[in-house]
Amino acid sequence: MGVAARQPVSLTTLLRLGRVSNLPTVWTNVLAGTVLAGAEWRNWKTAAVLVAMSLFYVGGMYLNDYFDRSVDARERPERPIPAGEIAAEAVAAGGFGLLLAGIVVLLPLGTGAALAGVLLALAIVGYDAFHKGNPLAPLVMGLCRALVYAGAAAAALGSVDGTVLVAALVLLAYVAGLTYAARQESLDQVGNLWPLVLLAAPLVLALPAVSQGPIALAIYLVLVGWTAYGVVLLARRPFAGAVSRAVALFIAGISLVDAALMAGAGAIAAALIATAGCGATLLLQRSIAGT
């Protein structure tokens, strides 16, 4: 056993493994799934879903590093496992343990919420284990975020209606688009640009925001500009690291998608909270890399 394996694991290592800077986007997903379902979000159920989805997210990030450890040893040796900051077996145990904990937290919230949690755990493991070289992997990643919407709605009302389902599919498309870009991050290039069309899906569904007052309109226009700027970075790559920068912006933009969809539904206060989630993600990414 190496010296590094015997050293206590630092909190910084655990936070980096979990890419916790992106957690605000998970929290705004929960908020949006609840609000779009037409449910009250200021209660203990929402708090429980926030905890559960946070556990799923961090557990998924742990398992991502575990399954990618051989590739990271070549391409990203600074990641905690190849750097010797933590044992791979410990990361795997922590990741699967967090997924199980997420399911347990959802159990008291009803069958629908628990089922969404089980499906989410399976999607996370499937993505982490088989995403390398898999052309369907971005869709699976998008499915993970869509299931956050579904789980939040099911926890709040016991079912997932058509409104939430359509919004979940739009979120799936957006996340699939950014995941495609993220797969090119280590090369600082993007091949075919056509999958980025998926990033425009929220702009269509959130279009009613333009008639919901000046605040809703402003949120919608911010999302339009945010998306356009990210696409320009990917297409032109005007500086070294432009792809990485665009990916980080698109990840933070998940909260803007949530905000725009809620603004389109007239939930302005919740939309403003989600907008703040985007800013919080960007701020946290300065300390802990989001990719």
Domain interval for residue 252:
8-285
Residue 39 lies in a domain: yes
pLDDT of residue 252: 97
pLDDT digits (tens, 9 = 90+) for 218-251: 999 999 999 999 989 888 888 888 888 999 999 9
Is 128 among the domain residues?
Answer: yes
Which pLDDT tens digit goes with each residue over 171-198?
999 999 998 877 765 444 555 667 788 9
Task: Specify if 291 maps to a domain.
Answer: no
Query: Higher pLDDT residue, 5 or 110?
Result: 110
* Domains in the chain, number: 1
pLDDT band with cut points at 50, 70 and 90 for residue 6: low
Mean pLDDT rounded to a whole number for the chain = 92
**Is residue 3 situated within a structural domain?**
no
One DSSP character per residue, the chain reads --HHHHSPPPHHHHHHHHTGGGHHHHHHHHHHHHHHTT---SSHHHHHHHHHHHHHHHHHHHHHHHHTHHHHHHH-TTSTTTTTSS-HHHHHHHHHHHHHHHHHHHGGG-HHHHHHHHHHHHHHHHHHHH-TT-TTHHHHHHHHHHHHHHHHHHHHHSS--HHHHHHHHHHHHHHHHHHHHHTTGGGT--S--GGGGGGGHHHHHTGGGGGS-HHHHHHHHHHHHHHHHHHHHHHH--STTHHHHHHHHHHHHHHHHHHHHHHHTT-HHHHHHHHHHHHHHHHHHTTS---
Distance CA 156, CA 113 (A): 9
Question: Both tokens of residue 128?
Answer: 């982490």
Q: Which of 167, 236, 15 is nearest to 245 (CA)?
A: 236
Q: Is residue 177 part of a domain?
A: yes
Residue 1 placed within a domain:
no
Tell me the CATH number at 155. Answer: 1.10.357.140
Is residue 140 a part of any domain in this protein? yes
Q: What is the pLDDT of residue 75?
A: 87
Q: How confident is the model at residue 132 (pLDDT cuts 50, 70, 90)?
A: confident
Cα gap 145→18, rounded to integer Å:
16
Contact 84, 74 (CB under 8 A): no
- Asked if residue 230 is part of any domain, the answer here is yes
pLDDT in tens, 33-59: 999 999 999 999 999 999 999 999 999
Residue 165, exposed/middle/buried by CB under 10 A (0-12, 13-18, 19+)?
middle
Q: How far apart are the first and last CA of the chain?
A: 29
Q: Count of residues for the chain?
A: 291
